[in-house]
C-alpha cells in the first residue's frame, strides 16, 4: 500500500487501496470497533480494510480458503490473525462487522451467514448477482436487525466524488437534472482469475461495474427510487472469453425526474497512467460539475480533479489528499449506534436491484 | 465576424460564424462557384456563408422577408445583392447553390423549391421537422438530381472534430465501439425569437440539436444505418415556455454494432466562457479520443482540444487554427463535379430521419 503513484497506477495491477494522504476521519478509540475479513477474492478487500482501519477500526481476523491469498493479505496487515473458518470469527463476540470480497455470485450467501451470526456485513460491489439473492438478504437483514452494506468505491473512496456530494447539497449547481458516468477499466488479463470472465460468476458488466454508477446516480440525484429505461451489453473484443462482457450502458430515470446514463468498458489503453479515465458529469439547472476521478487526462494528470461551473463560479479543484473518506468512519458509527448516516439499507438494496434489472434486461449487441 | 474571442463567445450571443484563423482550403477561382442565401432566420447562416466564401465561393444574392434581417446580413457581406424573392435568385443561371437557415419546420419546403428550380440546396440543421418533409425531399432530390445538403456545424465547423475523423480513419484507436456526445447550449433567452420555444417550429430538442449528434455518430461509427434504442426529452426549468424542451437524450445502435449516446441541454451556465462545453468521446478497442470542442474547461480554456490515448500514445492536441474546414471546399467540388465526397445524400437523409424518429418516440419526462 505504500509507494503508489498518485494516479493509482501500480505495476502489479493492484490499485484497489486508496490511502488517505491528507485528511483522516478517525471516529473511535483503539479496540472500540473490531472487524474481520473473510473471502478475499477481489483486491478491493485491501481498500475496504484500509478505509476502516484509517477511521479507527481494528482488523482482527482474516479467513480465506486459499492459504496463499490469506498469506498475501497478512503481509500487508501483519497484526491480523489468520483463522480457519468464517464461523471462527463469527464466534468472537467483540467482532462487530465482517468485510468480504468473495467471488461475486457467492457474496449474498456469505452475507446472510454473517448477519445470522449476529454481525454486520460490509461487502465489495457488486453485492449480489441475482434478484433472489437480494430478496433473501433483505429478509435476513429485517429479521436479524443486522446491516448489509456495500463498498461502492467509485464514490466512497474518491475524494472528488465526496466533495461533489457536498457541492450538490449546497445547491451550487441548482437542481440536479442528469448524472452521466463513464467507467472505463483496464482489463489486465494476466492478473484476472477465471471467474472474472464468466458472467455467471461476475454477474455481467452492468451488475458488476454498473452498481458503482447506479449508486452514484441515486446519490447525486437525491432519488428514493428509479427505473431502468434501457440497457445494452456487448463483448466487442474479447471473443476468446465467450461469457465475458467488455461493454455496457444503461439509461435510468429517477422518481424525482432526474435522468441517468452510464457507460462501462474494459478498454482502458496502456498509455493511460491510471486504471481508468473515470468521469462523472452532474448537470444542474444552474451549473454543472465534472469529476476526473483517477487522472486529469491531457491536463495535470492529477487524480481527484473537480470542475465546477455555474452562473458566477468557474472553478477547478485539485482535491487529492484534501477531503479524505468520511464514509468509513460514518459506517463504524452506524454499526456502533445503529444509525444510517453513512448509507441507508434501502439505498444499498435498491442499488443492487436496479443493477441486476438493468443487466437482466440488457440487449446483447452483436458486433 | 472579427474580434471574436477564440472561445467563440460573443457579447451579442452571435457565435455562429467560425472563421478560419489558419489553414484554408480554397478549391476554385473567383466566380467559378456562385451561391445565394435565402431565409436567414438562424444565425448559422453566417457560418454557412463564411465557410463557402473561405473555400472560394461567391455569395451573390440574399433574400429574407424581413428587411432588417437582410440589412444586418448585408452589413457583414457588403458585396451581396439583396433581392426580393427566392425566385429571383433561382432565375440566375450562374447560381449553383442556395443556402438557407429558415425557421426549422419550413426548411424542407424551401429546399424542394430550390431543387425544383435547378439548384443544389445547403440547409442549416435540423434539415426537417417531420418524416413527411424528408420523404418529399428524398423524392425531389431523386427526380431532379439536385442535392439537399446539411450544415452539421458541430462536426463540419469544428477543427478538432475534423482531425478526429482523420485519426479514426487511420485506425489510431482501433475499431470504434461507441460514440458519446454532450451538447450543452446557452439559451440566452433575450436573443431568441418566439419560434425558438415552440416545438412545432423548432422540431423538438432531439430533432434540432440531436441532428448534430446523430450525424457525428454515423460518421465516426462508419455506419450505413442505425436504429434508435431509446430517447427522452424534458422541460425541467423553462415552464414559462410550455412547448419548449431544455433536455434530451438518446441511445442508438448502428448496423455495424457501434453504440451511440448523446445528451442535449440548454443549461450552459453564465460563468462558462463559451456557448457550450461540447464534448465528444470516441471509444475504440485500442484507445479513445476526447474532443473539448469549444473550450477546454478547467484547463487552457482553448477551443479545439483533442485528447488521444491508445496503447502507446497519450497526446493532447491544440488544433485551433491548424486544421481548417475542408467540408466547404469539398461541398463546392461536389456541386461542380456531381460527386459525393463532402457527404453523401443518403447520410444527410438518414441523419434527419433518425433525429426525427428519436424525437417522435421520446418519452416526455415530468420533472
Looking at the fold, whether A304 and A330 belong to one and the same domain comes out as no
Considering only CA atoms, which of B292, B287, B201, B185 is closest in space to residue B241? B201
> What's the gap in Å between the CA of A354 and the closest CA on chain B?
18
- Judge: B271–A367 Cβ closer than 8 Å, yes or no: no
Classify residue A293: in a domain, yes or no. Answer: yes
Record: contact A363-B285, CB cut-off 8 A: no
What residues of A are in contact with residue B307 (Cβ under 8 Å)? 297-298
Instruction: Please state the domain count of chain A.
Output: 2
Q: What share of chain A in percent tops pLDDT 70?
A: 95
**Closest by Cβ to A230, choosing from B175, B230, B367:** B230
Q: B287-340: per-residue pLDDT in tens?
A: 999 999 999 999 899 999 999 999 999 999 999 999 999 999 999 999 999 999
Closest Cβ–Cβ partner in A178, A270, A310 for B263: A178
Mean pLDDT across chain A: 94
Domain with residue A212: its CATH number is 3.30.360.10
ipTM score for this prediction: 0.94
Q: Say whether A288 and B267 touch across the interface (CB within 8 A).
A: yes
DSSP string, A187-253: --GGG--GGGG-HHHH--HHHHHHHHHHHHHHHHHT-S-EEEEEEEEE-SS-TTSTT---EEEEEEE
Task: Indicate whether A3 pLDDT > 80.
Answer: no
pLDDT > 70 in chain B, percent? 95
Specify the pairing of strand A81-82 against strand A58-63: parallel
Using the predicted structure, report yes or no on whether residue A10 has a pLDDT greater than 80: no
**What is the domain-level CATH number for residue B339?**
3.40.50.720
**Alpha-carbon distances of B47 from A137, A165, A233, rounded to whole Å:** 60, 41, 40
Nearest to A297 among B259, B309, B310 (CB): B309
Contact assessment for residue B7 and residue B274, using Cβ atoms and an 8 Å cutoff: yes
Nearest to A251 among B247, B251, B281 (CB): B251
Burial-class residue B137 by CB neighbours within 10 Å (0-12, 13-18, 19+): buried
Contacts of A267 in chain B (CB under 8 A): 177, 283-288
Per-residue model confidence (pLDDT) at position A23: 84
Please provide the DSSP assignment of B190-234 as one string. Answer: GG--GGGG-HHHH--HHHHHHHHHHHHHHHHHT-S-EEEEEEEEE
φ and ψ at residue B94, rounded to 5 degrees = -80, -20
Do residues B37 and B60 both lie within one domain?
A: yes
Does some domain include residue B351? no
* pLDDT of the residue at A15: 52
| Pair B149, B27 in one domain | yes
| Closest CB to B309 among A259, A272, A290 | A272
Taking 60 as the threshold, does the pLDDT of residue B204 lie above it?
Answer: yes
pLDDT tens, A305-330? 999 999 999 999 999 999 999 999 99
Query: What are the φ and ψ backbone dihedral angles of B157, each rounded to 5 degrees?
Result: -110, 40
Task: Say yes or no: A105 and A167 in one domain.
Answer: no
Band the pLDDT of B257: cuts 50, 70, 90: very high
**A3 belongs to a structural domain:** no
Nearest residue on chain B to A310, alpha-carbon basis? B269
Same domain, A174 and A275: yes
Shortest Cα–Cα distance, B268 to chain A (Å): 7
Residue A349: inside a domain:
no
State residue B2's pLDDT score: 31
- Note whether A281 contacts B236, CB cutoff 8 Å: no
Is the CB of A271 less than 8 angstroms away from the CB of B298? no
| Residue B189 shares a structural domain with residue B140 | no
DSSP states of B107-152: HHHHHHHHHHTT-EEEEESS--SSHHHHHHHHHHHHHH---EEEE-
Contact B247 A259 (CB under 8 A): yes
What CA–CA distance (Å, rounded) separates A151 from A339? Answer: 18
pLDDT above 70 for A7: no
Nearest to B269 among A256, A309, A367 (CB): A309
Q: Is B232 in contact with A259 (Cβ distance < 8 A)? A: yes
**Would the CB atoms of B285 and A236 count as touching at under 8 Å?**
yes
Nearest chain B residue (CA) to A268: B287
Contact A234, A199 (CB under 8 A): no
- Does residue B348 fall inside a structural domain? no
Cis before residue B126, ω within 30 degrees of 0? Answer: yes
- Best probe of the A interface among B309, B311, B318, by most A CBs < 10 A, is B309
Residue carrying C-alpha cell 437542481: A175
pLDDT tens profile B73-119:
999 999 999 999 999 999 999 999 999 999 999 999 999 999 999 99
* pLDDT of A334 higher than 90: yes
Residue to test with chain B: of A221, A228, A231, A236, most B Cβ within 10 A: A236
Assess whether A305 and A194 both reside in one domain: yes
- State whether A269 and A178 are in the same domain: yes
State the pairing for strand pair A226-234/A247-254: antiparallel
Domain co-membership, A289 together with A305: yes
Can you give the residue range of the structural domain that contains B75? 8-154+326-343
- Nearest C-alpha of chain A: how many angstroms from B314? 6
Which residue has 444503461 as its cell numbers? A250
Q: Is the pLDDT at A104 greater than 70, yes or no?
A: yes
List pLDDT tens digits, range A238-294: 999 999 999 999 999 999 999 999 999 999 999 999 999 999 999 999 999 999 999
B-chain residue closest to A246, CA distance: B285
Average pLDDT, whole number, for chain B? 94
- List the single residue in A174, A269, A313 with the smallest CB-CB distance to B288: A269
Q: What is the pLDDT of residues B333-351, one digit of tens each?
A: 999 999 999 999 999 999 9
A351 within some domain? no
Of A174, A263, A272, the CB nearest to B180: A263
For residue A287, give the chain B residue with the closest CA. B269
Same domain membership, residue A174 and residue A138: no
Contact residues on chain B for A167, CB-CB shorter than 8 A: none
Question: How many degrees, rounded to 5, is the angle at CA A258 between CA A223 and CA B265?
Answer: 160
On whether both A244 and A134 belong to a single domain, the answer is: no
Kindly report the nearest CA distance between residue A23 and chain B, in angstroms: 24
Model confidence at A18: pLDDT above 50: yes
Whether residues B220 and B246 fall in one domain: yes
A233 domain residue, yes or no: yes
Count CB pairs under 8 A between chains A and B: 166
On whether the CB atoms of residues B216 and B160 are closer than 8 A, the answer is no
A30 located within any domain = yes
What's the mean pLDDT in A134-155? 98
Amino acid at each position: 500500500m505504500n509507494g503508489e503513484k498518485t494516479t493509482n497506477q501500480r505495476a502489479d495491477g493492484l490499485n484497489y487501496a486508496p490511502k488517505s494522504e491528507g485528511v483522516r476521519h478517525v471516529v473511535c478509540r483503539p479496540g472500540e470497533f473490531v472487524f474481520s475479513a473473510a473471502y478475499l477474492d477481489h483486491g478491493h478487500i485491501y481498500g475496504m480494510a484500509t478505509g476502516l482501519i484509517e477511521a479507527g477500526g481494528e482488523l482482527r481476523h482474516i479467513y480465506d480458503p486459499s492459504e496463499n491469498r490469506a498469506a498475501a493479505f497478512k503481509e500487508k496487515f501483519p497484526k491480523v490473525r489468520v483463522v480457519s473458518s468464517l464461523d471462527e470469527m463469527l464466534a468472537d463476540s467483540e467482532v462487530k462487522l465482517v468485510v468480504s470480497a468473495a467471488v461475486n455470485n457467492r457474496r449474498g450467501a456469505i452475507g446472510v451467514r454473517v448477519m445470522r451470526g449476529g454481525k454486520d456485513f460490509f461487502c465489495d460491489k457488486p453485492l449480489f448477482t441475482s434478484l433472489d439473492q437480494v430478496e433473501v438478504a433483505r429478509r435476513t437483514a429485517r429479521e436479524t436487525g443486522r446491516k448489509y452494506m456495500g463498498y461502492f468505491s467509485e464514490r466512497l473512496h474518491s475524494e472528488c466524488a465526496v466533495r461533489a456530494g457536498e457541492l450538490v447539497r449546497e445547491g451550487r449547481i441548482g437542481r440536479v437534472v442528469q448524472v452521466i458516468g463513464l467507467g472505463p477499466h483496464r482489463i489486465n488479463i494476466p492478473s484476472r482469475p477465471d471467474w472474472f470472465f464468466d458472467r455467471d460468476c461476475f454477474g455481467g458488466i452492468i451488475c458488476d461495474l454498473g452498481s458503482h454508477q447506479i449508486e452514484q446516480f441515486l446519490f447525486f440525484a437525491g432519488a428514493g427510487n428509479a427505473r431502468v429505461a434501457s440497457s445494452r451489453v456487448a463483448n466487442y473484443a474479447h471473443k476468446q472469453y465467450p461469457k465475458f462482457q467488455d461493454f455496457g450502458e444503461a439509461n435510468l430515470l429517477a422518481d424525482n425526474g432526474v435522468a441517468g446514463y452510464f457507460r462501462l468498458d474494459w478498454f482502458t489503453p496502456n498509455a493511460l497512467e491510471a486504471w481508468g479515465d473515470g468521469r462523472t458529469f452532474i448537470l444542474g439547472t444552474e451549473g454543472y460539475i465534472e469529476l476526473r476521478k483517477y487522472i486529469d487526462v491531457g491536463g495535470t494528470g492529477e487524480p481527484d480533479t473537480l470542475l465546477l461551473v455555474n452562473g458566477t463560479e468557474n472553478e477547478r479543484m485539485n482535491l487529492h489528499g484534501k477531503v479524505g473518506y468520511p464514509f468509513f468512519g460514518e459506517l463504524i458509527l452506524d454499526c456502533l449506534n445503529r444509525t444510517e448516516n453513512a448509507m441507508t439499507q434501502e439505498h444499498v438494496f435498491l442499488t443492487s436491484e436496479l443493477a441486476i434489472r438493468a443487466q437482466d434486461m440488457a440487449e446483447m449487441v452483436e458486433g
